[in-house]
Amino acid sequence: MELIFLGTSSAIPSKQRNHPAIALKAFGEVILFDCGEGTQRQLAIAKISPMKINKIFISHLHGDHVLGLPGLIQSMDFRDRKIPLDIYGPPGLFQLKSAILRLGYCSLDFDIRIHELTGNFCSTLDDFANSVNGKMSNTKNSNNNCNINNSNNNNNNINSNANSNNNNFDNCIINNGNTNNISSINNNINNNENAGNLIINNDKYSIQFIKTDHGVCNLSYSFVEKKKPRFLRDKAIKLGVKPGPDFGKLHNGSEVKIGDRVVMPNDVLGEDRSGVKIVYSGDTRPNQGLISLAKDADLLIHESTYCEDDKNKAIENNHSTSSEAALIAKCANAKNLVLTHISTRYNNTEDILKEACELFKNTKVAYDFMVLNI
């Protein structure tokens, strides 16, 4: 699998950063997360065909996350697209599609299937960083514990079958910026493999979402590859299988003929291993639902619009700081963190990266056209 960061800016693009969009290449398809203005140009530069995009997941309906849709849809039509395009996102998405088609006088030769997602709201932790008695970037030099508690958010569930765990959250303790003294998030969260609302569940992967807090409805998504057997490379070579396409055939369950012998998949496949888990936050304040969704993720992609010095602006505008994103990754026991949605107020990302790494070392700051092989 391959992740391509097409746009990594926040509300205002810069010469270096376009509006938000992330492409995931997996199992022969391209899945797009958000589609900011100019995304189709970014796709062209990254040499990704729009015709391979069958699913688009929109986090929320702010312009910097959706205004690339009209041009992308029109370009697909100009290229004689026939297969349907599925677009998932918050309520209001159908109205957006209708406006695009009506105001653009478009008559498409392919179907756009809109999926408006409803589900549980997870409580927001507005005092998420205040609990360290000061700036989170100073946590490294502080002996104070960081206790994350519930806020009293009484949002109602809408058509939800997911447990938001809002009332079952133990303290997450960070001492001196280290991870070795984080108390366990309670068993309900630790054992909850279905932390979100299930959208897609096929033989290759599943996708879930939760609602988070951005002032408007924001959806955070998880992509989880299905478990698959380990490929025993050395054993395959001993049986005469050469590295290359035959490895892939066996790994995918097909037999391979080697001379007058047939090598069966069971001959070279071991026990199942967990698939890759990727979580994308969209725009949000820190919240415990996202920690649950991102539990044990291989990669958490989290917005980092502000540095900790501008935390008041983050609270005012319902965004996160780099330190808050790092604390989410730490509490979720994620393996890697990538920060994105970088404000143009920052000329470089050194402080953003430094603040995050004080709490979570395996952190990168995304840049346009950054590619991660997963």
Catalytic residues: 64
Question: Is residue 65 part of an annotated ligand binding site?
Answer: yes
Question: Is residue 319 part of an annotated ligand binding site?
Answer: no
Alpha-carbon gap, residue 166 to 154, rounded angstroms: 10
Question: Is residue 341 part of an annotated ligand binding site?
Answer: yes
**What phi and psi, each to the nearest 5 degrees, are found at residue 151?**
-90, 160
DSSP state of 103: H
58: three-class secondary structure by DSSP: coil
Question: Is residue 302 part of an annotated ligand binding site?
Answer: no
Hey, what are 370's tokens?
């950054």
Q: Which alpha helices (DSSP H) does the chain contain, by range?
A: 39-45, 63-66, 69-78, 93-103, 187-190, 233-238, 245-251, 265-268, 288-293, 311-316, 322-332, 350-359
Question: Is residue 214 part of an annotated ligand binding site?
Answer: yes
Question: Is residue 115 part of an annotated ligand binding site?
Answer: no
337: three-class secondary structure by DSSP: strand
Question: What's the CA dihedral at 348, 220, 102, 111 to 10 degrees?
Answer: 120
Question: Is residue 127 part of an annotated ligand binding site?
Answer: no
Q: Which of 66, 78, 79, 77 is nearest to 20 (CA)?
A: 66
CB 323 within 8 A of CB 338: no
| Feature table: binding site | 60, 62, 64-65, 214, 283, 341
Residues at the annotated binding site for Zn(2+)? 60, 62, 64-65, 214, 283, 341
